[in-house]
Amino acid sequence: MDYSFLNIIDILGTIAFAVSGAFSAMERKLDPFGVVILAFVTAIGGGTLRDVLIGNTPVAWLRNEMTATVILATAFITLFFGRYVKQFQKTLFLFDALGLGVFTLIGMEKGLRMQLSPGICIALGTITACFGGVIRDVLLNNVPLIFQREIYASACILGGSLYLLLQKTGLSNDWNTIIAILTIVLIRIIAMRYKLMLPRVYENRM
Amino acid sequence: MDYSFLNIIDILGTIAFAVSGAFSAMERKLDPFGVVILAFVTAIGGGTLRDVLIGNTPVAWLRNEMTATVILATAFITLFFGRYVKQFQKTLFLFDALGLGVFTLIGMEKGLRMQLSPGICIALGTITACFGGVIRDVLLNNVPLIFQREIYASACILGGSLYLLLQKTGLSNDWNTIIAILTIVLIRIIAMRYKLMLPRVYENRM
Amino acid sequence: MDYSFLNIIDILGTIAFAVSGAFSAMERKLDPFGVVILAFVTAIGGGTLRDVLIGNTPVAWLRNEMTATVILATAFITLFFGRYVKQFQKTLFLFDALGLGVFTLIGMEKGLRMQLSPGICIALGTITACFGGVIRDVLLNNVPLIFQREIYASACILGGSLYLLLQKTGLSNDWNTIIAILTIVLIRIIAMRYKLMLPRVYENRM
């Protein structure tokens, strides 16, 4: 498989995550420096936490100026052309869903290469995809969005589990990867389209 | 000494910490995924921060699926049987105190093995025992509880100091460990029983 | 160059940062333990995050009891003589500005020694100088101050860029270092004196 394909989706995901971070900062009226930092943290926070946890240092973005450049450019474009960028909300949602899928698989791959157990690898994938948003929310003094019923991390967990199951079939790793990513993207799209949410199973039990 | 004994207390402590995290999340009406994450973060946050600071990576819980399984099971049990679990508040308090003691000693041991200086080892023990709760509170957008006059970290610091002092006596390391853990547990029980709190020494000085 | 000179500024900066952390905690009426932790986190948070990101573990303060001792002493002095310490606000501002400059250069130096690219090194310097304050603000449940228009991180970025430019001249590294640090200090003093702030470029664009 041509991995430049995955790389391109990786960059699209990074852009979508950076835009989401920049917008969150702008809504809170942070200064331009704050906007840049929030774009950064949202885009690389998950991968950074994963790298720190598994000891893969210097963490990825320190060794790859490309990522930093893309995020910086995205942050400034969002800063100056915010109103214009907002018109692409649907495109950005799609990028975000793609990013979610790709980041999950990238994170899982790192865990599998270190021979970590399957459940742990799913956790690493989910951390890679979701914890940038968690750090963004913590910095902005919000309770993290993903803890509030939206189907987001759950999509990563399902897609990640599917990937591990597919590995036991005869399918090539490339196809497994593509299928798992598309599954995550589809779950996100369906959840958004039909406003699906996680149940609050415990509501009447406390 | 039979270290399976320490292992069992370690697991009891993990369970107590996970329950505390799950309850905090349920009180804030987080979704089931949020409950699981808060259970995780509370139970393994302190040890993870310690491992990251000393460079002991991949951090402990990534290499030991047992921990993750116990936390996951605890989170779901708390989620579905919350009202029932609450009846065991006293037992959970005891587990929590035991966990605090064991985690402090485990953290100190890691520092001592790396030849770090005594004060630093006490800090590592305290971080191991207390910072899961700090991360839990940060994620839930609260000022960390342990900064608010309760005798909690202080118990770890006192127990840890005692452990270092005992090492200069002829006592075996096993006895030192047990005495230090029991000291931490006792301080917690006494502080809770008599509602002891740290003074606010500076109140009239500002 | 006599590096004990840099070391002394390093310690003055650590003291200033620790005082700032302790005061923030005291304003929020945290207990003495909370005051000590906030002093610590503010003083060593940035350097710790940098060390964790580049994999320089055990992180600096674990290997150097001097830092911990200075911070602990500073925290207790601030705790007991808070009203008195406050009279030195101008001196503390100068220490803080010096600390900002020295920490930026120390952080950049670590990145350069690891052959990381120039932009990344500036980021590492800024993280070293500024993220202690960010962690302090997150723990106290505030949106980080440095995201709110004050010229603080910008001073680090400008000073850091100047340092990289000066390296292409024939000047000795010692002089480059001194000039970059003084630039950061001067920007801070001028920004404070004339209440300069970053613009909110996007205000009317959302």
For position A206, what pLDDT does the model report? 42
Q: Is C204 part of any domain?
A: no
B44 to chain A: nearest residue by CA?
A53
Nearest CA in chain B to A133: B139
Does C16 fall in a domain?
yes
User: Across the interface, which of A134, A141, A149 has its CB nearest the CB of B31?
Assistant: A149
Three-state SS across C8-48?
Answer: HHHHHHHHHHHHHHHHHHHHCCCCHHHHHHHHHHHHHHHHH
Q: Do A53 and B55 touch (CB under 8 A)?
A: no
| Among the listed residues C73, C35, C86, C30, the one whose alpha carbon sits nearest the alpha carbon of residue B205 | C86
On whether residue B159 sits in a domain, the answer given is: no
Tell me whether A156 touches chain B (CB under 8 Å).
no
Residue C206 lies in a domain: no
* Confidence at residue C4, expressed as pLDDT on a 0 to 100 scale: 66
Domain holding C94, by residue range, is 3-198
Q: Which helix (H) or strand (E) holds B24?
A: helix B3-27
Dist. CA C17–CA B52, nearest whole Å: 23
Is the bond preceding residue C58 a cis peptide, omega within 30 degrees? yes
Q: Is the ipTM reported for this complex over the cut 0.90?
A: no
Of A21-25, A108-112, B55-59, C194-198, where does mean pLDDT reach its minimum?
C194-198
Beta bridge partners of B197: B150
Domain count, chain B: 1
Provide the terminal-to-terminal Cα distance of chain C, rounded to the nearest Å.
Answer: 51
Torsion angles phi and psi, residue B197, rounded to 5? -140, 160
pLDDT tens readout for residues B147-199:
876 788 899 999 999 999 999 888 888 889 999 999 999 999 998 888 777 66
Whether residue A203 is contained in a domain is answered as no
Residues of C in contact with B113 (CB under 8 A): none
- For A206, which of B26, B57, B68 is closest by C-beta distance? B26
Residue C205 lies in a domain: no
Tell me: pLDDT of C200 over 80. Answer: no
Q: Give the mean pLDDT of A155-167.
A: 94
B 130-149 residues with CB < 8 A to A: 138-141
Q: Does residue C153 lie within any of the structural domains?
A: yes
How remote is the C-alpha of A98 from its chain's centroid? 8
CA distance A104 to A128: 6
Average pLDDT rounded to a whole number, residues B38-55: 95
User: Does residue C203 belong to any structural domain of this protein?
Assistant: no
> Nearest C-alpha of chain B: how many angstroms from A154?
7
* B145 vs B133: CA distance, rounded Å: 8
- The DSSP line for A178-201 is HHHHHHHHHHHHHHHHTT-B---T
Give the least confident one: B1-5, B26-30, B201-205, C89-93: B201-205
Inform me whether the C-beta atom of residue A193 falls under 8 Å from chain C C-beta atoms.
Answer: no
Task: Output the pLDDT for position A203.
Answer: 47
Interface contact flag, C53 A52, Cβ < 8 Å: yes
Q: For residue C120, give the nearest of A33, A52, A65 by CB distance.
A: A65
Interface of B with A in 45-74 (CB under 8 A): 48, 52, 55, 57-59, 61-63, 65, 68-69
Of A4-8, B8-12, B88-92, least confident by mean pLDDT is A4-8
